[in-house]
């Protein structure tokens, strides 16, 4: 089931930012020339003024062959060009990895997607009104969980900096949504919420006896040889070759935001990855190397047409991915946003067109101009 969505369907829901380099470096290469307008996609990522960004990179398979292009610098202090094996923060792309492991456990008969989460996590001491929230509801963002209470206000870059080293536990994150009634009957509406995946990461730990990051490593990263991808846990830094993230302050100054405590995104937005690794993950996922056919079908199915987003638009999130249809072509994938970084990983079901776009916008709430340009360049 697909929905006719605009290019805005590729947009994420979190804030990020941008800054234009006066001397941006631009490179492009192809292992075998894709059957499309590569000059158009290079131009799409080379405009680092809309939104203002320090760097961008795009790994693309379009028809036959792969193409990789970059613009800007991975590190403003040294001007080094971006490379496809540079680490960056991938934000909510984490959810695709978490959902993959949950669906693997379901395929192995270790969990029931219709089971109430309150029974799956007895140690979490969830309120009894959560009894109607199932594992499947959490996966598809149809849980109706209450709004957060007690989370910091991060509506300015200065506030983001003030809270960049705050330490959160999974229990504390869950507590923020346990004080009010459910927003809607689970399964009847859809609202994208990161907290859904905090519950799911805890479920992975309950069923495997491992840290959820270790379970992802054992079941996804190591089998695929994704040596540059990880769930960093308590480590606040990126190590080895990396893309630096930046945040522009209200007074116009620029702050390196690369070192950041990601515990507030535990279970749903911590992933550190590279463009090459995400490209390989995408290939493995869609070809069935990670999920059995029934499980992959679950991941690639939207809720019934009666389920709408809170604003009345059609549901666009499946179990771990999201769908966007542009000019009759449906893409499946995931967006990821965290301060200083933005990632877009999408593919058609048959992998005839797929891409990983990662760039480093710097103003808070940067516009989605770059992904719009990329998708436009991919159209016939």
| C-alpha span between 307 and 35 (Å, rounded) | 38
| C-alpha span between 198 and 181 (Å, rounded) | 19
Query: CB 205: neighbour CB atoms within 10 A?
Result: 18
* 101 vs 12: which has the higher pLDDT: 101
Encoding tokens for residue 10?
Answer: 């590729």
| C-alpha span between 47 and 231 (Å, rounded) | 31
Chain segment 233-289, per-residue pLDDT in tens: 999 999 999 999 999 999 999 999 999 999 999 999 999 999 999 999 999 999 999
Q: Is residue 17 over pLDDT 90?
A: no
Mark residue 288 as left, alpha or beta (left: phi above 0; alpha: psi -120 to 50; beta: remaining).
left
What secondary structure letter does DSSP report for 49? B
Encoding tokens for residue 162?
Answer: 């003030």
- Average model confidence (pLDDT) for the chain? 91
Percent of the chain with pLDDT over 90: 86
| C-alpha span between 92 and 345 (Å, rounded) | 11
Question: Which residue from 249, 242, 258 is spatially nearest to 73, judged by alpha carbons?
Answer: 242
Q: Is residue 4 over pLDDT 50?
A: no
Residue 319: CA count within 13 A, CB half-sphere? 26
Question: Quick check: bond before 272 cis, omega within 30?
Answer: no
Mark residue 351 as left, alpha or beta (left: phi above 0; alpha: psi -120 to 50; beta: remaining).
left
Q: Is residue 63 over pLDDT 80?
A: no
Domains of the chain: 7-378 (3.40.710.10)
Reduced to 3 states, what is the DSSP secondary structure of residue 62? strand
86 in Cβ contact with 358 (< 8 Å):
no
Strand 322-326 and strand 329-338: the pairing is antiparallel
The mean pLDDT value for 289-298 works out to: 98
Q: What is the pLDDT of residue 260?
A: 97
Chain segment 83-125, per-residue pLDDT in tens: 999 999 999 999 999 999 999 999 999 999 999 999 999 999 8
Residues 6+ apart with CB under 8 A from 323: 2, 3, 5, 9, 302, 316, 317, 330, 331, 332
Q: What is the pLDDT of residue 134?
A: 98
| C-alpha span between 96 and 100 (Å, rounded) | 6
């Amino acid at each position: 089931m697909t929905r006719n969505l605009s290019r805005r369907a590729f947009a994420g829901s979190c804030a990020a930012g941008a800054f234009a380099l006066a001397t941006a470096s631009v490179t492009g290469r192809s292992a075998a020339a894709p059957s499309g307008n590569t000059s158009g996609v290079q131009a799409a990522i080379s405009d680092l003024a809309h939104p203002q960004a320090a760097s961008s990179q795009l790994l693309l398979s379009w028809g036959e062959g792969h193409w990789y292009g970059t613009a800007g610098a991975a590190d403003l202090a040294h001007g080094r060009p971006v490379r496809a094996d540079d680490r960056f923060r991938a934000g909510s792309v984490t959810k695709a990895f978490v959902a993959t492991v949950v669906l693997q456990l379901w395929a192995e008969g270790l969990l029931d997607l219709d089971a109430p989460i309150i029974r799956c996590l007895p140690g979490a001491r969830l309120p009894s009104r959560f009894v109607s929230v199932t594992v499947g509801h959490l996966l598809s963002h149809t849980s109706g969980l209450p709004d957060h209470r007690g989370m910091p206000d991060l509506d300015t870059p200065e506030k983001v900096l003030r809270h960049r080293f705050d330490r959160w536990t999974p229990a504390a994150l869950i507590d923020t949504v346990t004080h009010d009634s459910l927003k809607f009957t689970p399964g009847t509406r859809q609202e994208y919420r990161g907290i859904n995946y905090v519950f799911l990461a805890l479920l992975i730990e309950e069923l495997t006896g491992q840290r959820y990051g270790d379970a992802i490593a054992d079941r996804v990263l190591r089998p695929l040889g994704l040596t540059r991808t990880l769930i960093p846990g308590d480590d606040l830094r990126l190590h080895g070759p990396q893309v630096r993230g930046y945040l522009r302050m209200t007074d116009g100054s620029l702050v390196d935001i690369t070192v950041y405590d990601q515990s507030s995104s535990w279970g749903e937005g911590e992933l550190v990855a590279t463009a090459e690794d995400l490209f390989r993950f995408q290939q493995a996922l869609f070809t069935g190397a990670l999920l059995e056919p029934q499980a992959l079908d679950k991941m690639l199915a939207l809720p019934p047409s009666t389920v709408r987003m809170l604003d009345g638009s059609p549901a666009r999130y499946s179990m771990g991915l999201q769908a966007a249809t542009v000019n009759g072509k449906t893409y499946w994938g995931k967006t990821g946003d965290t301060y200083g970084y933005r990632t877009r990983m999408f593919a058609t079901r048959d992998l005839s067109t797929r891409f990983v776009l990662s760039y480093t916008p710097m103003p808070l709430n940067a516009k989605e101009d770059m992904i719009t340009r990329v998708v436009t360049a991919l159209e016939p």
